[in-house]
Structure 1
């Protein structure tokens, strides 16, 4: 091999080495920018950055567990609330119009609650409250009260299946 060929090969190797070095510098710059975006600065190394992120993720995990417990508690409280309501309006007496009498059922998810009825007549109004446990009252319910209770219980089933 003569010296000119050797010089040409050396030049090609030098150019390839220079390109490899340039690519390495560009990649190192990109990695440095990514580390800065993650919050690393000149005083912290990658290991401390990862340790901080691990701690942060661990705290998020425990916060998520606490929130899940709280949601379960709120679900239980919501189920016990009288959130299923139905009202039936009717004319209690044939000579009265306007459907001024009503029966309203207010029950929770298990069917516990009460039925309120207000019977409106010409000279007076009477109001009754009857307790309900498991969808059943110890006191006999009127047809309108049963209708209101059934409608409230049906709304309870609709929400349960959502």
Structure 2
């Protein structure tokens, strides 16, 4: 027994240092656990406050009502989106233009052909022919990139330009 007490007295500073480090580690664990407990306690208090406003069935009923309202709004948005999608397919998205000189005795490229097409290549081609004494404007319907009326080379070129690019 005397040997044991001698060993302890000779290494007292080391033992105290070891126990001090162990105490600091224990204090750190206590602080971590206390922080987690406080967060859990705050969450618990929020749940309790919610339950105090009504019983669980009232809360579930309110949640189901809100869920149904959100579902109805989502259905309305889907209908509106489908409507916009259908409308957007018929909107003019492709434009092609060609300026040219229709008559050799008139200067500049004052004549033009403009193709206005939707996503299905349906639309119109407008042509304005400028002459010294008069100007003529023509409109021809376009279906799937073709017209049932004869097209000039400039009108075909305007349609092809429109097909290659979108607004």
TM-score by length of 2: 0.67
Q: Give the RMSD, CA atoms, in angstroms.
A: 2.6
Gaps of 5+ in 1: 1-22
Partner Cα separation in structure 1 for residue 145 and residue 38 of structure 2: 76
- The answer as to 2:161 corresponding to 1:148 is no
Distance in 1 of aligned mates of 2:158 and 2:132: 24
**1:61 aligned partner:** 71
What pairs with 1:57-136 in structure 2 (closer than 5 Å)? 57-136=67-146
Secondary structure class of the residue paired with 1:122 = coil
* Secondary structure at 2:87 match in 1: helix
Q: Is the radius of gyration larger for structure 1 or structure 2?
A: 2
Deviation at 1:104, TM superposition (A): 0.7
Gaps of 5+ in 2: 1-35
Distance 1:26 1:63, change over 3 A: closer
Q: Distance in 2 between matches of 1:29 and 1:140?
A: 79
Decide which of 24, 49, 56 is 2:59's aligned counterpart.
49
Q: Secondary structure at the match of 2:165?
A: helix
* Residues in 1 aligned to 2:77 and 2:148: alpha-carbon distance in whole angstroms: 40
Aligned residues: 132
State which of 30, 53, 66 in structure 1 corresponds to 2:43. 30
SS in 2 for 1:97: coil
Query: By how many angstroms is 1:26 displaced?
Result: 7.5
CA distance in 2, matches of 1:118, 1:35: 77
Post-superposition CA distance 1:111-149 (Å, at most 9, x none): 221111001111211111111112111111111100111
> What TM-score does the superposition give when structure 1 sets the normalisation length?
0.69
Q: How big is the shift at 1:33?
A: 2.6
With over 3 angstroms needed to count, the CA separation of the structure-2 counterparts of 1:126 and 1:45, relative to structure 1, is: same
